[in-house]
Amino acid sequence: MQFRATELAGVVIVEPDVHRDARGYFLETYHAGKYGAGGIRAPFVQDNQSCSSRNTIRGLHMQLRKPQGKLVRVLAGEIWDVAVDVRASSPTFGRWVATVLSSDNFSQLYIPEGCAHGFCVLSQNALIEYKCTALYDPGDEVGIAYDDGTLAIPWPTNEPTLSNRDQRNPTLAEFLERVSLTKEVALARPD
């Protein structure tokens, strides 16, 4: 099992060991000790699953007062998964990283508290599962526009399918005007 650090502190790409034979395959999708040694130490309290069709973009989402770390993996299909650093004290504030997660490569992406998360579906459909370090609170969830020009994320679709809410997400600058990251938001500091 490999844990690859990214340029954003705490954002980790996990490449599990996949044991294949004539019957199929076996892999560990989570092991507290191994993941802890790989830098993912937070306890998980909720698992979520979503299914989306090609060109769907979900995000960029996060929670403010009850921030969530997320360990994302794909059960079927393929996505382009994105983490954006919005931790006020971070030297990489406003930067993003992305990786392809698929049911073929078995990779996972850990997005720590204080980072916004989004993804774009590359396959016909994708079934995504993610573990969370805090319970979902719909009243605490906020979004940032996926197409914010200052973030300049090169999403792999020109015709995204978005929820009504995601169509109205503010830019990062508008988000910062609405929310005081240093006073109202208890976001994790990078390690």
> Could you tell me the CATH number of the domain that includes residue 52?
2.60.120.10
The answer as to whether 55 is a domain residue is: yes
Tell me the pairing of strands 108-111 and 12-15.
Answer: antiparallel
The answer as to whether 23 is a domain residue is: yes
- Structural domain count of the chain: 1
The phi and psi torsions of 35 (rounded to 5 degrees) equal: -70, -35
What pLDDT, on the 0 to 100 scale, is given for residue 177? 82
Residue labelled with tokens 């931790």: 87
- The whole-model pTM stands at 0.91
Q: Which two tokens stand for residue 35?
A: 């993941």
Q: Is-contact 126 51, C-beta < 8 A?
A: yes
The answer as to whether 49 is a domain residue is: yes
Q: Which structural domain range is residue 23 located in?
A: 2-178
The answer as to whether 186 is a domain residue is: no
The pLDDT tens digits along the chain (191 residues) read 999 999 999 999 999 999 999 999 999 999 999 999 999 998 999 999 999 999 999 999 999 989 999 999 999 999 999 999 999 889 999 999 999 999 999 999 999 999 999 999 999 999 999 999 999 999 999 999 999 999 999 999 999 999 999 999 999 999 988 876 434 444 443 44
pLDDT tens, residue by residue, 110-153: 999 999 999 999 999 999 999 999 999 999 999 999 999 999 99
The answer as to whether 134 is a domain residue is: yes
The answer as to whether 138 is a domain residue is: yes
Which residues are identified as catalytic? 61, 130
**Distances from the Cα of 62 to the Cαs of 10, 78, 116, in angstroms?**
15, 22, 5
Quick one: which H or E segment has residue 26? strand 24-26
The answer as to whether 189 is a domain residue is: no
